[in-house]
Amino acid sequence: MTEHRTSDSATATPAGAAGFVPALEGMRALAAIAVMLTHTAFQTGQVDGSVLGRVWGRFDMAVALFFGLSGFLLWRAHARAAWSDGAPPPAGRYYRSRVVRIMPAYLVVAVVALALLPRSTPPSGSTWLGNLTLTQVFVPYSLTDGLTQMWSLSVEMLFYLVLPLAALAVVRLRGRAAHWRVPVLLGAAVVSLSWAWVGASLPLPRGVNHHNWLPAYVPWFVAGIVLAEMVFAPASRYARVRRVARRSVCWPAAAVVFAVIVTPLGGPVTLDTPAPWQFAVRIGLGGVLGFLLLAPLVLGPGSDRARRLGSGPMLALGRWSYGIFIWHLVVLTAVFPLFSIVPFGGSFVKVTALTLVFSVAVSALSYAWVEEPARRALARHEARRSAARPASSAASQAAPEQVTVG
């Protein structure tokens, strides 16, 4: 009887093969709140050399989860096409959806932060340009108040840009040759760890950090990409991985990996620059962390934990999670003077609660007034384009897409 259940578990359709996975919305919400927590902890002086201080500081590893989610959700169409020997998805619609998903709400936040937040000197023209175009990671000293977390969004946008090129690089690995895709992708992730040393050798201007560039975070994206490949591969190929993912071992293992990253092996939690080997360790383990957190949700057929993450409240927070991510530092900056709280002077619980409540409120408005209207406008545009094409072309459109960031 036990063997029969194990076999069924190994061959059941993974939840990640569906067009929409509710549990991923809840996981995205938790990641956005974790990023907010690490910033409120830092701004209230909780991030220090103590064990708890290092834990708060390492909640920034939620970015690995964001990148893994993007890798999984955006690579699914390419993985499905490769393992079924079908046609790859069109790039035009993909690029339009990424721009409309990211830029409207982001531009509102950027203008508010640059124009309204108090600062000792007004932002320079290069700071405005870098932040409005999401190229701030290449512009010296342009990570400014209220927008410092946007380095990761800049990395994400670059990933969106090169993803079709990466898919093209492995396009011949399809059908019978598709079994080579995961080894090639993992090999690319391992090679990318050398960026910790290669980037450090580049003659970059002061105020530009190679740690904030896309090559540094390839393993975090690949964690999700590999999961997408496993979802659409024949059930027998990665049966052992699927069985492990469906047991209650992945998240405890993720906790162990996180504990290792919290140690000095993962580098400093302050603004000090890590040694190249520390940065490489953190990035490599971050990829493992993202894989372990996402695998049970996408490789399994569903569980009680997945259902809780896909509950109504978590779905709502998931819809607003992008807004929470892009707005929370603006809100945090305003919380201190509005409530007469001294930065770096404690009051962690109070500051966190206030920041969370107001961030969720602003994010809900951002979703209703900016994000959702932009999405609907794009949907109408795509419907008009599809109506103008032959029926066969319209039928080839990809399945409904799940939101991929924040």
Where helices occur in 181-237 by DSSP H, the ranges are 181-192, 195-198, 218-232
The yes-or-no verdict on residue 399 having pLDDT over 70 is no
**Amino acid 196: pLDDT:** 97
Q: pLDDT tier at 225 (50, 70, 90 boundaries)?
A: very high
**Amino acid 15: pLDDT:** 83
**Amino acid 402: pLDDT:** 64
DSSP state of 193: T
The yes-or-no verdict on residue 1 having pLDDT over 50 is no
Distance CA 380, CA 202 (A): 45
Give the pTM.
0.92
From the list 118, 114, 125, 122, the residue with the least C-alpha distance to 150 is 114
| Residue of 134 and 84 predicted with greater confidence | 134
**What is the tens place of the pLDDT at every residue in 91-149?**
888 999 999 999 999 999 999 999 999 988 999 999 999 999 999 999 999 999 999 99
| Residue of 387 and 259 predicted with greater confidence | 259
Distance CA 174, CA 170 (A): 8
pLDDT > 70: what percent of the chain?
Answer: 93
From the list 263, 168, 282, the residue with the least C-alpha distance to 217 is 282
- How many C-beta neighbours within 10 Å does residue 5 have? 9
The yes-or-no verdict on residue 5 having pLDDT over 60 is no
The yes-or-no verdict on residue 296 having pLDDT over 80 is yes
Torsion from C-alpha of 286, 41, 335, 33, nearest 10 degrees: 40
Q: pLDDT tier at 395 (50, 70, 90 boundaries)?
A: very low
**Amino acid 161: pLDDT:** 97
> Torsions phi, psi of 346, nearest 5?
95, -150
**What is the tens place of the pLDDT at every residue in 190-223?**
999 999 999 999 999 999 999 999 999 999 999 9
Q: Please state, rounded to an integer, the average pLDDT across all residues of the chain.
A: 91
Distance CA 334, CA 328 (A): 10
**Amino acid 166: pLDDT:** 95
Torsion from C-alpha of 374, 377, 379, 384, nearest 10 degrees: -160
**Amino acid 394: pLDDT:** 43
